[in-house]
Amino acid sequence: MHFTVHFFMESILTKLRTEYKANSLNKYTKPKIYHGGKSFDLTKRWYVYYSFEHPTKVTENGHRLMIQQPPIYYNINRNYKTKTERLKAIKQLRNNIESLLKDGWTPYALESEARYTAKAALNFALKLKKSTLKKTSYDDYSNRLSHFLEYLRKKGLSSADINSVNKKTVNDFLNSLLTKSSARNRNNTRSVLSALFTILEDNELIDNNFIKNIKPLKTTSTRNKTYTGKGVDDIYKYLEKEDPIMLLFIKFVSYNFLRPIEVCRLKSKDINLKESILHIDTKTSAAKTKRIPSILLKELIDLDLSSEDDFLFTPTGVGRWEAEERNRRDHFSKRYKKIKTILGYGPDHTIYSFRHTFITKLYRDFRKTQSPFEAKSNLMLITGHSTMTALEKYLRDIDAELPSDYSDRLK
């Protein structure tokens, strides 16, 4: 017993010496997570917290004072409603904050009156934003920010105080984009910069996000036309013979109403044949469960799904594919483009058009026996739209609802 206690005390002393040494070398404590207590209470605000050495305040012994910094919430509570999703997101946020600290970032200015440079502040905002973005979205943010930082560098503002960047600076940059590309590209860049400046405002690095007051420009949206019934039959028959892999890819878009990028994310582990369901990361949700209809399920029975991390779609079928998500999607887009050119379809008909086609078909079939509200309510369960408003806008955009013949009223 005496040996055990002695060993235990020695272990504590060793640990304390190690921690003291670590804290004496670092200017911060390791970021930690508050997750609502032992019960993981989702009604409480989860956050990341840490302490940092104050640049001027000292203890009686002359050591710099460790000050606990304001908790970092970063919309984790608002954006993630389940325990699993919130834990994953807040762990990523903690890791990103720790990475920033290791890279030398400080919540205090290097000198008491100094401020953050535009480059440092915006890179800080991007790193925090990373915890809420998928890989493709993060790459898009990073690319757009790099163009903005290059613009600031040429204007001599990259190393200037972040508060030197004002509404006119951003407007001039957006106008330069408009002359070189399109209103859509200009608007998308505006949205990215606004999201980053909101983070700077939330962290009190700027007074307010003025980009919110820069209006987006009107754009003409490109329509993906629906296919006719005969058109679908002809394409299916052609692909049955010429490209069965492309056909199965399209059937996931047609029958499960997935977007092409979502089909590219599917792995063997996402398919549950026994329960006829699949799990997928969608545009609006970190993880969603969808029913696999029997018309599609029967085509999956013979697939080899034994390796969980195999992608369902590669250039040759189920298997491993060391390629970025965007490149995987582009592969199938280009693959289909060759096919539709052979069959006489133009740019308005895409893989995405199959989603429009079959949602229209399903809605019109529901409407034969159901009221508009009943039809839309049933359709929401299938398509995965999060709100009735979003579904109604989508149905209007694809002209799913058509009036009956009104000739008698014209006489």
Going from N- to C-terminal start, the domains of the chain cover 1-81, 116-220, 229-397
Please give the pLDDT value at position 54.
80
What would the two tokens of residue 220 be?
A: 């003409």
Taking 70 as the pLDDT cut, the residues of the chain under it are 1-25, 62, 108-115, 220-223, 282-286
End-to-end Cα distance, the chain: 104
Question: Quick one: which H or E segment has residue 395?
Answer: helix 388-397
Instruction: Report the pLDDT value the prediction gives residue 326, as an integer from 0 to 100.
Output: 87
Phi and psi torsions of 68, nearest 5°: -70, 130
pLDDT for 24 equals 40
Q: Which fold has domain 229-397?
A: hpI Integrase; Chain A (1.10.443)
Q: Which two tokens stand for residue 338?
A: 């060759």
**pLDDT score at 20:** 40
Say what the pLDDT of residue 108 is. Answer: 67
Give yes or no for a contact between 91 and 33, defined as CB atoms under 8 angstroms apart. Answer: yes
The span from the CA of 382 to the CA of 387, in Å, is 12
pLDDT at position 147: 96
Burial (Cβ within 10 Å: 0-12, 13-18, ≥19) of residue 379: buried
Contact 119, 162 (CB under 8 A): no
In this predicted model, what pLDDT tens digit does every residue of 167-201 receive, in sequence order? 999 999 999 999 998 899 999 999 999 999 999 99
- Residue 160 backbone phi and psi in degrees, to 5: -85, 170
Question: What is the structure's pLDDT at 253?
Answer: 96
> What pLDDT is stored for residue 379 in this prediction?
92
Region of 204 please: left (phi>0), alpha (psi -120 to 50) or beta: left
DSSP string for 233-296? HHHHHHHHHH-HHHHHHHHHHHHS---HHHHHH-BGGGEETTTTEEEE--SS-S-EEEE--HHH
pLDDT number for residue 115 = 61
pLDDT for position 216: 93
pLDDT of residue 6: 43
Token digits of residue 115: 């401020």
CA 188 to chain centre: 14
> What is the CA 341 to chain-centroid distance, rounded?
32
Q: How much is the pLDDT for 285?
A: 54
Q: At what angle do helices 244-255 and 352-367 cross, to 10 degrees?
A: 40
Give whole-number Cα distances, 13 to 19, 30, 42, 205, 207, in Å: 10, 20, 37, 41, 47
One-letter amino acid identity for 384?
G
Other residues' Cβ atoms within 10 Å of the Cβ of residue 277: 14
Q: Is the dihedral of CA 239, 243, 245, 246 positive or negative?
A: negative
Q: From residue 287, how far is each of 91, 123, 151, 379 by CA, in Å?
A: 17, 28, 37, 20
Q: Which CATH number fits domain 116-220: 1.10.720, 1.10.150, 1.10.10, 1.10.3470?
A: 1.10.150
Q: Which residues pair with 58 in a beta bridge?
A: 64
